[in-house]
């Protein structure tokens, strides 16, 4: 699906996030023909179908459709009874940095941020900070959160062996592990495995329906029956109990039934292609080997410490990206393609050249004064 901006036929290549995809024609059709009911009463057949498929995909006893990933994380934290306790998070985790502080405001928990290697927590570091109930001077550890793929670390993948080790360490202390799997399909596609394999060492997990899957709204939270009973109550409290939610389940079903692993492999490959092209412009921009899934972090510090300059220059050339400080982020998804990647690379090359030219011109002026 193409969107146009500016002059006739001028195509906009939107790499800001994989959340920008618009529902496809078949998703819109599924929305119009979806069988609906009151989901809060268990009466929506399309939601029931989606939750059944989600149980199968994750291998968990229960799965719940929620309106967002932020609510899924929050429902999980409340469901794991974290109030008054510590939640171990990687220091650049989305849950800790980008969810409005809900962890403390709503769930009443303390974050224990731990630095991971490229966003991946080391089991020995977790073991060192796990706090058991018998120490009355401190808040006990109630949960370990793992982000897979890791957003801020540029789509880094947590390997199944690491998940297993983290789970083993946490379980020994009686602490559950929650996987923030917004982009779990990207991780599975990279590893050539299933999301079930990545859920095996998680006591709870959620994945997004509106990132790589391309649906318009929604997230799936899954876990065992006892946990999910508490998470379902938490979601009710948070306002996440929906009515004719088949309207959002139907397009998600379309995505889940049309080889989601293939779709995510494509996105990952597209990001790798982009990374390679950017590195060819200047090797300092991207560490290609780090680009495993659909996110490309591009470091422009050699040119500017204000990414907004690059964001603006790319926008003028029909390419949308996010930028902060000296980092520009490209995210691949189903509505960008090889041509978008080509355009993005040449736009960045142009933008960097014009910055360099301006700098040289400024230097000449200073020199002649
Ligand atoms: C997008 C994202 C979220 C939040 O999901 P929303 O559906 O936008 O609320 C949480 N964690 C990670 C890692 C994400 O990428």
How remote is the CA of residue 98 from the centroid of ligand 1, in Å? 8
Residues 166 and 223 in one domain: yes
Q: What is the pLDDT of residues 76-124, one digit of tens each?
A: 999 999 999 999 999 999 999 999 999 999 999 999 999 999 999 999 9
Q: What is the pLDDT of residue 369?
A: 65
Ligand 1 contacts CB of residue 47 (under 6 A): no
Q: What is the pLDDT of residue 243?
A: 98
Residues 137 and 96 in one domain: yes
Ligand 1 contacts CB of residue 69 (under 6 A): yes
Between 359 and 307, residue with greater pLDDT: 307
Q: What is the pLDDT of residues 327-361, one digit of tens each?
A: 999 999 999 999 999 999 999 999 999 887 888 88
Q: What is the pLDDT of residue 179?
A: 98
Residue 177 pLDDT exceeds 80:
yes
Q: 82 and 204 in contact (C-beta within 8 Å)?
A: no
Q: The domain spanning residue 167 has which CATH number?
A: 3.40.640.10
* Cα 170 to the center of its chain, rounded Å: 23
Residues spanned by the domain of 363:
4-21+260-368
Residues 231 and 93 in one domain: yes
Residues 251 and 278 in one domain: no
Residues 102 and 17 in one domain: no
Ligand 1 contacts CB of residue 148 (under 6 A): no
Residue 213 pLDDT exceeds 70:
yes
**Which of 256, 275, 294 finishes a domain?**
256
Q: What is the pLDDT of residue 35?
A: 98
**Which of 256, 277, 311 finishes a domain?**
256
Query: Looking at the domain assignment, is residue 200 inside a domain?
Result: yes
Separation CA 352–CA 310 (nearest Å): 8
Ligand 1 contacts CB of residue 156 (under 6 A): no
Domain count within the chain: 2
Residues 66 and 183 in one domain: yes
Residues 83 and 191 in one domain: yes
Between 5 and 123, residue with greater pLDDT: 123
Q: What is the pLDDT of residue 65?
A: 98
Ligand 1 contacts CB of residue 294 (under 6 A): no
Query: Looking at the domain assignment, is residue 43 inside a domain?
Result: yes
How remote is the CA of residue 312 from the centroid of ligand 1, in Å? 25
Query: Looking at the domain assignment, is residue 131 inside a domain?
Result: yes
> Which amino acid residue places its CA nearest to atom 3 of ligand 1?
69
Which of the listed residues 69, 73, 157, 294 should we mutate to test ligand 1's pocket, taking the one with most ligand atoms within 8 A of CB? 69
* Model confidence band, residue 125 (pLDDT cutoffs 50, 70, 90): very high
What sign does the dihedral 296-301-307-309 (CA atoms) show? negative
Atom of ligand 1 nearest to the CA of 210: 7
Task: Map residue 69 onto helix, strand or coil.
Answer: helix
Indicate left, alpha or beta for 320 from its phi (over 0: left) and psi (-120 to 50: alpha): beta
Ligand 1 contacts CB of residue 267 (under 6 A): no
Query: Looking at the domain assignment, is residue 29 inside a domain?
Result: no
Q: Which of 333, 338, 200 is nearest to 260 (CA)?
A: 333
Ligand 1 contacts CB of residue 68 (under 6 A): yes
Residues 119 and 68 in one domain: yes
Ligand 1 contacts CB of residue 219 (under 6 A): yes
Query: Looking at the domain assignment, is residue 27 inside a domain?
Result: no
Partners of 207 in the β-ladder: 220
Query: Looking at the domain assignment, is residue 341 inside a domain?
Result: yes
Task: Map residue 146 onto helix, strand or coil.
Answer: strand
Q: 139 and 131 in contact (C-beta within 8 Å)?
A: yes
How many C-beta atoms surround the C-beta of residue 326 within 10 A? Answer: 16
**Which of 256, 284, 313 finishes a domain?**
256
Range in 20-29, 148-157, 204-213, 352-361 with the lowest mean pLDDT: 352-361
Separation CA 121–CA 115 (nearest Å): 7
Per the prediction, the chain carries an average pLDDT of: 95
> DSSP alpha helices (H): ranges in the chain?
25-33, 45-58, 69-79, 94-97, 102-105, 123-129, 160-172, 184-191, 195-199, 225-237, 246-256, 260-281, 307-316, 338-368
Question: Of all residues in the chain, what percent carry a pLDDT higher than 90?
Answer: 91
Residues 190 and 155 in one domain: yes
Residues 151 and 272 in one domain: no
Q: 294 and 212 in contact (C-beta within 8 Å)?
A: yes
How remote is the CA of residue 326 from the centroid of ligand 1, in Å? 23
Query: Looking at the domain assignment, is residue 138 inside a domain?
Result: yes
How remote is the CA of residue 73 from the centroid of ligand 1, in Å? 9
Ligand 1 contacts CB of residue 238 (under 6 A): no
Residues 241 and 192 in one domain: yes
Residue 178 pLDDT exceeds 60:
yes
The alpha carbon torsion through 291, 297, 301, 304 (nearest 10 deg) reads 140
How remote is the CA of residue 207 from the centroid of ligand 1, in Å? 9
The alpha carbon torsion through 298, 155, 19, 6 (nearest 10 deg) reads 20
Query: Looking at the domain assignment, is residue 222 inside a domain?
Result: yes
Q: The domain spanning residue 364 has which CATH number?
A: 3.90.1150.10
Order of strands, sheet of 177-180, starting from the edge strand that comes earlier in the sequence: 62-66, 219-223, 204-208, 177-180, 141-147, 86-90, 110-114
Residues 137 and 266 in one domain: no
């Amino acid at each position: 699906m193409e969107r146009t901006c500016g002059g006739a036929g001028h195509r906009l290549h939107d790499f800001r996030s994989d959340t920008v995809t618009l529902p496809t024609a078949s998703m819109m059709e599924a929305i119009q023909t979806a069988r609906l009911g009151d989901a809060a009463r268990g009466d929506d057949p399309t939601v029931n179908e989606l939750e059944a498929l989600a149980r199968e995909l994750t291998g968990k006893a229960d799965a719940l459709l929620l309106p967002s990933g932020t609510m899924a994380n929050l429902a999980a934290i409340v469901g794991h009874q974290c109030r008054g306790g510590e939640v171990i998070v990687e220091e650049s985790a989305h849950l800790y940095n980008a969810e409005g502080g809900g962890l403390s405001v709503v769930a009443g928990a303390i974050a224990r941020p731990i630095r991971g290697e490229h966003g991946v927590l080391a089991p020995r570091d977790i073991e060192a900070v796990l706090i058991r109930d018998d120490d009355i001077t401190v808040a006990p550890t109630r949960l370990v959160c793992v982000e897979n793929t890791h957003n801020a670390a540029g789509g880094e993948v947590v390997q199944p062996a690491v998940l297993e080790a983290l789970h083993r360490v946490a379980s020994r202390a009686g602490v559950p592990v929650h996987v923030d799997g917004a982009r779990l399909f990207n991780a599975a596609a990279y590893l050539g495995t299933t999301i079930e394999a990545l859920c095996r060492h998680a006591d709870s997990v959620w994945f997004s329906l509106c990132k790589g899957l391309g649906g318009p709204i929604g997230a799936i939270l899954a876990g065992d029956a006892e946990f999910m009973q508490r998470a379902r109550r938490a979601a009710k409290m948070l306002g996440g109990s929906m009515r004719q939610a088949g309207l959002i389940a139907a397009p998600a079903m379309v995505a889940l039934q049309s080889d989601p692993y293939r779709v995510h492999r494509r996105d990952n490959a597209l990001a790798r292609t982009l990374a390679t092209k950017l590195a060819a412009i200047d090797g300092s921009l991207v560490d290609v080997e780090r680009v495993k899934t659909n996110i490309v972090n591009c470091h422009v510090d050699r040119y500017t410490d204000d990414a907004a300059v690059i964001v603006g220059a790319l926008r003028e050339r029909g390419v949308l990206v996010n930028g902060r400080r000296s980092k520009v982020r490209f995210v691949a998804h189903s509505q960008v393609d090889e041509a978008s990647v080509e355009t993005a690379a040449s736009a960045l090359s142009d933008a960097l050249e014009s910055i360099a030219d301006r700098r040289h011109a400024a230097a000449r002026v200073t020199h002649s004064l």
